[in-house]
Structure 1
Amino acid sequence: MFVQDLKLEFYNVLVGKRILIIVNYDIDGICASKIIQSLFKYDHMLYSVVPIMGMAGMQRAYTENRDDVKYVILINCGGCVDIVDLLQPDEEVVFFVCDSHRPLDVCNIYSDKQVCILGDPATEETIPSFEAIFRESDGEDSADEDDDEDDNEEEGTTRMEKHANRVLKQRERRTWENERDRIMFDYSQYSYYGRSSAIILFELAWKLTKDSPDLLWWAIVGTTEQLILGKIESSTYTLEIDNIQSHVSRLTTKSSDQTQTHSASKITFENDLHLALYRHWSVTESMRNSMYCACKLKLWTLRGEKKLHELLVEMGLPLTHAKQMFNSMDLTLRQEFHQMIEKLAEKYGIPDIVYGSFTLNYGYRNRYSAADYVYALLAILESVKHDKTPEDCFLEALDGLSKSHKSILTAGIESAKLLLSAIFRQVQSSLEAHQVHSAGPFFYFILNEENSYFSYPFGLTMLAKFILNGYVSTSRSRRAPELPLIVSCPVDAERGLCLLVGIPPVRENSPKSFFGKAFEQAAQKSNSVIRQDFFEPSLIQIRQSDLTRFLDTLTVLLS
C-alpha cells in the first residue's frame, strides 16, 4: 500500500519505537539514510543502520536483526521484490519502503498495511488493477466446483454437463492467467528509476519543520547522482531542480534572517559545466575524462586532441594555464571560463555542456558542486579492498557528506580522479584495439583480466556508458546509436565469476532497460548459472565458462 502523508502515517508511527534501517549501497540511498538519521537523532529515537549490496544482503540483515524490531525502513531496496515472501516476517512487522527502483512489486503495492510504500501512486506509471492479477486460489475454485457438483447432482444434472462446466471453468481460468501474464510482462519488462529517495525524505523533514541547508544539500547530491549515472532523463532532472530551487530560496531567506558565521552553509543555483571535478583538476584533464566532452570531441584520437587545443586557443586559454590546477589559473581566466566555453559550445559540437546545478559554499575557501560530491562518494564506495569492507566504505561515504569531515571528501575527490582516468584509458585502448564487437542485436565488450576499478557495479557501469558513447561517436554504422552494449569483467578468478552489465542504446531518450528480463530468459534457455542479486536487474554475475553460450542465446533471443 502507498503512504502519502509521511508525517502522520510514517514518521509519527515510528516515534518512540526501535527501528531497523536497511540501506542499499548507492549514493542516493546513503543521502536518504543520512537525512532520516538526522531526524531520528533530533527526536532521540533508537535505530540501527545496516548497509547492503543485494537481495541476499537484505535477507541476512533482516534475519540478524528481526528479534529486536517491529518496524523496518528499506531505503533504495525491497520495492521491486515481494518483501513478505522473501523475508517471511511475523505478521506484526511493518516495512516502510522508500525505493527509487521501478517497477514496484505488485504484492507490495496491494499489501494490507504490512508493506507501506512512501510515495504517491498518481506519479507511478500504469499499475495493474488488483482484479487483473489476483483472484481466488485454486483450492477455493475446486471447493466451488465441488459445491456446484453437489447442487447439480441434487438437480439430476448429467455427468456430461458437470464435465462441460468444469472444462468451461478451466478454460476461463487459463484465459485469465494468460491475460494476467501478458499484463505482468508489460508492467515489469523494463527496469527504470523514480524520484530520488533523498528528495522524498527531505520533503518529510520540511513538513516536520526540521529541514536545514545540510539536509537539502544531501537531497541535492542524491538527485545529482541520478543524473550523472544516467538513471533519469535530463528533463526529469530539470523538473526536480525547479522544485529544489524553491527550497533553496526559502532556506536562504530563513538563514539570512539569522546570525551568519563564516562556517554557515550557503547553497546557490547556477549554470554549471558537464566537466568532472574541473574545480579540483586541470581543464585539460577534466575535459579528457568527462564522458560527454570526450565523446563529442573524440579526445582519445589525435584529431580530437588537436580539436581540444583549437578550442582552448579560441577561448583565449593558454595551454600552460589549461594544464594547471584550476585554482592556480589566473583569476580573470577562472572567472570568464564558463562564459568562454559556453560561447563556443555550439561551434565545437558540445551544446549540452551547460546544465543547471547547485554549489555548496562554507567557510572562506570551501566551494563544491553537487557533482563533485557524487564523484567523490562514488570513488569511496568503489574503494573496497582486502582490508576495507563494503560496510567500511559505506560509513566513510556517510561521513564524507558532513562538512566536519572535509578530509574524507578531499581524499574521495583524489580517488575519483584516478577512477575517471582509469575509465578513459580503458576506453581509449578498447576503441583503438577495436575490442567492441557486434553480435547483431547488441554490441559487447569483454575484459579478460580483473581490474579493481571495474570489479564493482559503479565503475563497470560508468565504463560501459563511456565505451558505448565513444564507439557510437566514431562508428560509421547508422545502426550504432540504436544498439545497446553488454560489458563483462572478471571479479573472482578462483570461482570463475564475472560481472556483466547491459546499457540501453544511445539513441533511447529514456534510460529504461529491458536487460533484466532478457538476462533471465537467456539464462534459462542456455542453462547458464547467473546471479541476479543486485537491485539493478541489468547487473548480473555469471560464470565465465557460461559467458559465450549465454551471449549466443541472448543474440537469438533479441534478434
Structure 2
Amino acid sequence: MQEERWHRQGCLAGKGLALSPGFYPVSVKKKFLVNGITRGKMFVKKFKEDFYDVIQGNRCLLLVNFDIDAICACKILQHLFKNDNMLYTVVPVQGISNVVQSYQDNCNDVKYVVMINCGGIIDIVGHLEPPEDMTFFVIDSHRPLDLCNIYSESQIRILHSQGSGEDIPEYDEVFRDSSEDESDEDSDGESRQAKRRRLNEEDMLRKRERREWEEKRDTILFNYSQYSHYGKSSAVLMFEMAWRMSKDSLDMVWWAIVGSTEQAILNKVEPQVSVLEAGNLQGQVSRLSHRQGVDAERQQQSAVKIIYDKDLQLALYRHWTVESSLRHSMTTAVALRLWSIRGEQRLRELLAEMGLPLAQSKQRFSSMDLNLRLEFREMVEKLAAKYHVEDIIGASFTLQFGYKFKYCASDLVYAMLALLESSGKDRSPHHCFLDAMDCLSRMKKDTLERGIEKAKVMLASVFKTAQGILEMKKVMNAGSFLYVIIPEGTVDGRLFAHPHTLLMLAQFVLRAYVGSSKRKGAAAAPLVASANYEQEEETCLLVGIPPICEDQPRSLFGKAFEQAAKNINAALDADYFDTTIIRLKTQDRSNFFDALATLLT
C-alpha cells in the first residue's frame, strides 16, 4: 500500500506561474465534462431535516480525521446517536489512502457515510467508487472543497455554514457538455475528404470558442484552488445542529469550544474569526447555564460549570510551573527571546519585578502560595506592555466539575495533541486516537492528566529544538521562502515525524526568526520545515506555513509542492488532507528545495 501511494504529480501551477493549456492533466479535465446535466451546489443548509433526520434509524459509518476539531465533532455526533439509539461505527483515518481502505473494510450493510474533516478536498466518488445508493455526508473544515463533491448529483452532500464567503465557481464555468468531444472522437474514423468537408468556418469557430472556454476554466480553477486554508470548525457546526434540534448540552458546547480553540492555537483561522466564534459560544454557554439552573453564586460543586473570563494565554500554567509556562509558551518565548542568554536574563527580571520569588516560580502553580496564585494574573498584566507580551492577555473558557476538575480549553487541546501524536512501537495510532477522545470525558481525568504530562514534554521539545535551530542559525533563506531541516539523530527527532508537532515547531521558529531578524521582508516570507519521517524507508516529512504578516492564514504551498516535485521528477506522497503537508524521499529533498525556490521566485 505504501508503494501505491508514491506517484508522479500532474501539472499544477504555483505562485507566479503562467497558466498553460496543460495546467490540468487530461484525467482531471475529463472530470469537468458531463453529458448536458446542469446541477446546483450540493450544500446541506438544513442540518436536521436534510442530514440528521435522513440518517436517523440507519446504521452509519463515521470516518474521522486525526485532528482535535474532528474528534470533538465526532464526540457530539456520538452523543446524539446514543441518545437516539442509533447504530454507528467510528473509524479514525490519517490520510486519503486510509480513507479508501477503511471504506472498503467497513462499507458492507451501510448506506450512509459521515466524513469528518477528511472528505471535502478529494473527489469522493472517484476515489471510493461507491454504489449509487450510498450517500456521503461531508463535514470538513479543509478548504478549498473539491468541485466534484460540490456539484455531485445527490450522492455527496456537504454540511456547510451559512455565509461562509467562499468564492466557489459556478457550475457552467467549470463543467461542460462532453457530447462535442465525443463527436470529435467519432470523426477519427472518417476519410480525409470527409474531414476536410467538416472543417468549415463554423467548426473552426466552435473549436476556438472551446479553447477559450478551457483557458478561462483553467484560470478559474487555479484561482479557486491555489490557496489551502480552513473554514468553520466542524465541532461548532455539529453543536449548532444539536442546538437547533433542542438536544444540546453544556458538555456539547464544551466540545465545540475545544474544537474551535484548536483552530486558534494552530493558527488555522484568523484571530478575529476566533474572537467572534468565542463570543458566539459564550452566548450559548450563558443560555445553557441559565436553562439548567446554573447560578454562579449558588453553584453546586457536583454540577458542570463553564466560565468565560479574562485569562492568561500561557500554555498549561495551572498544571505547570510559572517559569516553565512562560518559557515554553510561544508568545512569551518569542517576545523575550528566551533562546538567548539575554532572554534568560529578561525572564529573571520579569519574575523579580512581578514580586514572584524564584523558588515559587519553580513550584507547580497549584502548590504556590495562595495569595501569589490569586494575584498572578494581575502581576503579569501590569508588566505586559513593558516586556512586550501584551498578547498573553486575553480570555478563555474554563470547565469546572466538582472541586478538583478545572481545565481551560487550551489545556485539553495541548493534552489531546500530545496523546494523538504519541504513536510508536508500543502504541498504535488507533489507540492514540481513542486516548485523545477520552480527554473529552469528565470521567477519564487520569487520561487527561497523562495527556497534560505528555504535552509538557512536547512543548519543552518544541522550545529546545527551536532554540538549537536559532542558536546555530539553521534557518536557511531560499530567497522566496525560508526553510529549516531538523537535524538527524536528536533525542526529540521522532517527535517531529508527526504533522501537528512539526507544524507547532515551524510556527515557533518562524515567529522567533522574524522577531529577531534584521532582514527586510522577513515577515513576508513563508517557511517550510522538514524532519525525518521513516528512517528505514528514507523518507522525510515537510510542512509549509504562510508568512506571519498574512491576515488570513492561507498557504500556497499545496500547489507549489506538487509543481516542484514534478519539475524534478520526484516521487511525492501527498496523502494528507492538508495539502501543505507532504512526504518525500530524503534523497530528493535538496533538489526539491531548489526547485521550489525557482518556482516561487
Bin of the TM-score, shorter chain as denominator length:
over 0.9
Look up the match of 1:224: 261
Deviation at 1:444, TM superposition (A): 1.0
The within-5 A match list for 1:42-57 is 42-57=83-98
Q: Amino acid of the residue matched to residue 202 of structure 1?
A: F
Residues 161 and 232 of structure 2 are in contact (CA less than 8 Å); yes or no, is this contact kept in structure 1? no
The total of aligned residue pairs comes to 551
Match of 1:535 among 563, 573, 577: 577
Matched residues in 2 for 1:463 and 1:28: separation?
Answer: 20
Q: Alignment partner of 2:311: what SS?
A: strand
Matched residues in 1 for 2:100 and 2:255: separation?
Answer: 28
Q: Alignment partner of 2:427: what SS?
A: coil
Q: Amino acid of the residue matched to residue 350 of structure 1?
A: V
Deviations 1:455-500 (Å, cap 9, x if unpaired)?
A: 1101111111111111111111112111111111111111110001
1:202 aligned onto 2:239:
yes
Match of 1:332 among 371, 386, 392: 371
Q: Alignment partner of 1:123: what SS?
A: coil
Deviation at 1:261, TM superposition (A): 4.8
CA separation of 1:5 and 1:317: change in aligned 2, threshold 3 A: same
Deviations 1:118-170 (Å, cap 9, x if unpaired)?
A: 11363141110111000101556627998xx9xxx9xxx99567433222211
Deviation at 1:262, TM superposition (A): 2.7
1:558 aligned onto 2:600:
yes
Look up the match of 1:548: 590
Q: Amino acid of the residue matched to residue 203 of structure 1?
A: E
Matched residues in 2 for 1:331 and 1:98: separation?
Answer: 45
Q: Amino acid of the residue matched to residue 558 of structure 2?
A: G
Matched residues in 2 for 1:260 and 1:37: separation?
Answer: 28
CA separation of 1:500 and 1:257: change in aligned 2, threshold 3 A: closer
Look up the match of 2:52: 11
Matched residues in 1 for 2:590 and 2:184: separation?
Answer: 50
Residues 20 and 48 of structure 1 are in contact (CA less than 8 Å); yes or no, is this contact kept in structure 2? yes
Residues 335 and 515 of structure 2 are in contact (CA less than 8 Å); yes or no, is this contact kept in structure 1? yes
Q: Alignment partner of 1:452: what SS?
A: helix
1:186 aligned onto 2:223:
yes
Deviations 1:214-266 (Å, cap 9, x if unpaired)?
A: 11111100000000011011100011011101110011112226997533210
CA separation of 1:332 and 1:526: change in aligned 2, threshold 3 A: same
1:172 aligned onto 2:209:
yes
Q: Alignment partner of 2:138: what SS?
A: strand
CA separation of 1:171 and 1:74: change in aligned 2, threshold 3 A: same
Deviation at 1:311, TM superposition (A): 1.5
Matched residues in 2 for 1:43 and 1:356: separation?
Answer: 36
Look up the match of 2:276: 239
The root-mean-square deviation of aligned C-alpha atoms, in Å, is 1.9
The within-5 A match list for 1:251-330 is 251-256=288-293, 261-330=300-369
Matched residues in 2 for 1:330 and 1:354: separation?
Answer: 22
Matched residues in 2 for 1:475 and 1:159: separation?
Answer: 67
1:213 aligned onto 2:250:
yes
Q: Alignment partner of 1:50: what SS?
A: strand
Matched residues in 2 for 1:224 and 1:431: separation?
Answer: 28
Deviation at 1:503, TM superposition (A): 1.3
Q: Amino acid of the residue matched to residue 271 of structure 1?
A: K
Look up the match of 1:486: 528
Q: Amino acid of the residue matched to residue 220 of structure 1?
A: I
CA separation of 1:500 and 1:140: change in aligned 2, threshold 3 A: closer
Matched residues in 2 for 1:158 and 1:552: separation?
Answer: 48
Q: Alignment partner of 1:122: what SS?
A: coil
Answer with 228-237 or 316-325: which moved more: 316-325
Matched residues in 2 for 1:79 and 1:111: separation?
Answer: 12
Answer with 392-401 or 404-413: which moved more: 392-401
Residues 2 and 121 of structure 1 are in contact (CA less than 8 Å); yes or no, is this contact kept in structure 2? no
CA separation of 1:304 and 1:448: change in aligned 2, threshold 3 A: closer
The within-5 A match list for 1:317-466 is 317-449=356-488, 451-466=493-508
Matched residues in 2 for 1:158 and 1:342: separation?
Answer: 81
Matched residues in 2 for 1:264 and 1:440: separation?
Answer: 57
Matched residues in 1 for 2:592 and 2:378: separation?
Answer: 50
Deviations 1:74-102 (Å, cap 9, x if unpaired)?
A: 00011011111111111111000000001
Deviation at 1:273, TM superposition (A): 1.5
Deviation at 1:393, TM superposition (A): 0.4
Residues 124 and 149 of structure 2 are in contact (CA less than 8 Å); yes or no, is this contact kept in structure 1? yes
Q: Alignment partner of 2:544: what SS?
A: strand
Q: Amino acid of the residue matched to residue 565 of structure 2?
A: A
Deviations 1:416-472 (Å, cap 9, x if unpaired)?
A: 000100111101111111111111111111123161210110111111111111111
Answer with 509-518 or 302-311: which moved more: 302-311
Matched residues in 1 for 2:258 and 2:544: separation?
Answer: 25
CA separation of 1:429 and 1:143: change in aligned 2, threshold 3 A: closer
Q: Alignment partner of 2:382: what SS?
A: helix
Matched residues in 2 for 1:78 and 1:158: separation?
Answer: 45
1:26 aligned onto 2:63:
no
Q: Amino acid of the residue matched to residue 18 of structure 1?
A: R
Look up the match of 2:176: 135
Residues 331 and 392 of structure 2 are in contact (CA less than 8 Å); yes or no, is this contact kept in structure 1? yes
CA separation of 1:224 and 1:120: change in aligned 2, threshold 3 A: closer
Answer with 292-301 or 113-122: which moved more: 113-122
Q: Amino acid of the residue matched to residue 57 of structure 2?
A: G
Matched residues in 2 for 1:31 and 1:102: separation?
Answer: 19
TM-score, with structure 1 as normaliser: 0.96
Q: Amino acid of the residue matched to residue 15 of structure 1?
A: Q
Deviation at 1:372, TM superposition (A): 0.3
Answer with 176-185 or 262-271: which moved more: 262-271
Residues 145 and 166 of structure 1 are in contact (CA less than 8 Å); yes or no, is this contact kept in structure 2? no
Structure 1 residue ranges without an equivalent (≥5): none
TM-score, with structure 2 as normaliser: 0.89
Q: Amino acid of the residue matched to residue 291 of structure 2?
A: K
Q: Alignment partner of 1:321: what SS?
A: helix
Matched residues in 1 for 2:211 and 2:163: separation?
Answer: 31
Residues 137 and 159 of structure 2 are in contact (CA less than 8 Å); yes or no, is this contact kept in structure 1? yes
Match of 1:505 among 538, 542, 547: 547
Q: Amino acid of the residue matched to residue 418 of structure 1?
A: V
Deviations 1:274-294 (Å, cap 9, x if unpaired)?
A: 210000011110011011110
Q: Amino acid of the residue matched to residue 227 of structure 1?
A: A
CA separation of 1:525 and 1:140: change in aligned 2, threshold 3 A: closer
